[in-house]
Amino acid sequence: MRLGLGVAAAVAALVGSGVAARAEGPFYVSGSVGGYFRQSDDTMDEFHHSATPTINVPGTDKRGFDPGVIGNVAIGYRLISHVRVEAEFGYFSYTGSTLNPTAFASGYPELNGQTFRRTSGDRFSRYTGTANAFYDFSPIAGLFAPYVGAGVGASRDHQSVGTLRSSDGTSFQSSGGSSTQGLAMVEGGLSFPITRNLSLVPAYRYVHFFAGNEDVAHVVKVGLRYSF
């Protein structure tokens, strides 16, 4: 009987060590959703009358944007106890809100900086891919572990044609198109363990896109990370 108990204890210890080792495996997958908040910006632009589309005049646009949504998935690997790297793929979607165009030429009295508000279209979508690196701090009171990190990558963007209208009924059409641009981001967050393998991860991210617009966005998100 004592021998049987000893064997059972040994088997339990081996199984337990196997589970612990698996819980501390270096690989993980994660997914997150959140809000996307693009900063308003001022950019150079060109304008034309619909009757004379081949004649362009220079000017500026001040643009505002409505909040959007973001979703990310990633697969990562822990290099050492506090450092991990990952490949991440994301999707952003949001719309324009307001436009204040100013033309640097006569003959465009409606383009004097007045506000045009979106009535349709003017939707932005982005597909992103980044390589990220993070540093995980030691857990605080055994409840959560802060982390910081950064990443670089590229974005494939699409903007649909939009219709905007001023308070006096004047309409304005924004241009659409697609482009590819680079991006860089920094992120800070917290990891709350739910089980040995699963953690809840709220985070804030600052994103800078490098293109003609050099646009900036803020992301507030929450995700799940599963280690195996």
Mean pLDDT of 113-126: 94
Neighbours of 79 (CB within 10 A): 11
pLDDT class for 167, splitting at 50, 70, 90? Answer: very high
Q: Which residues pair with 149 in a beta bridge?
A: 134, 187
pLDDT for position 24? 59
Distance between CA atoms of residues 181 and 128, nearest Å: 10
Whether 11 is in a domain gets the answer no
pLDDT at 211 over 80: no
Q: Tens digit of pLDDT for each residue in 125-148?
A: 999 999 999 999 999 988 999 999
Q: How many residues does the chain have?
A: 228
Residue 103: which of 57, 56, 43, 52 has the closest Cα?
A: 57
Distance between CA atoms of residues 33 and 69, nearest Å: 7
pLDDT at 163 over 70: yes
Contact of 102 with 115, CB cutoff 8 Å: no
Kindly provide the residue ranges of all beta strands, DSSP E only, lying in 24-67, ordered along the sequence: 27-38, 41-47, 57-65
Mean pLDDT of 47-54: 72
Q: Is the pTM higher than 0.85?
A: no
Return the SS3 of 77.
Answer: strand
Whether 12 is in a domain gets the answer no
Whether 210 is in a domain gets the answer yes
End-to-end CA distance of the chain: 37
Distance between CA atoms of residues 203 and 223, nearest Å: 8
pLDDT for position 2? 44
Whether 218 is in a domain gets the answer yes
pLDDT for position 23? 46
Q: Which of 67-71, 76-80, 157-161, 211-215 shows the lowest mean pLDDT across its residues?
A: 211-215
Whether 6 is in a domain gets the answer no
> CATH number, domain at 222?
2.40.160.20
pLDDT at 207 over 60: yes
What one-character DSSP code corresponds to residue 170? -
Mean pLDDT of 100-114: 86
Classify each residue of 105-119 as buried b or exposed e, where b means 16 or more C-beta atoms within 10 Å of its C-beta.
eeebeebeebebebe
pLDDT at 161 over 90: yes
How many domains does the chain divide into?
Answer: 1
pLDDT for position 21? 36
- For CA atoms 175, 44, 220, 118, the dihedral sign is negative
Whether 5 is in a domain gets the answer no
What one-character DSSP code corresponds to residue 109? T
Domain span including residue 200: 26-227
For the chain, the average pLDDT equals: 87
Q: Tens digit of pLDDT for each residue in 10-42?
A: 434 433 433 333 345 899 999 999 999 999 988
Whether 15 is in a domain gets the answer no
Whether 158 is in a domain gets the answer yes
Q: 13: exposed, middle or buried (C-beta count within 10 Å: 0-12, 13-18, 19+)?
A: exposed
pLDDT for position 172? 86
Amino acid identity for residue 164 in this structure: L
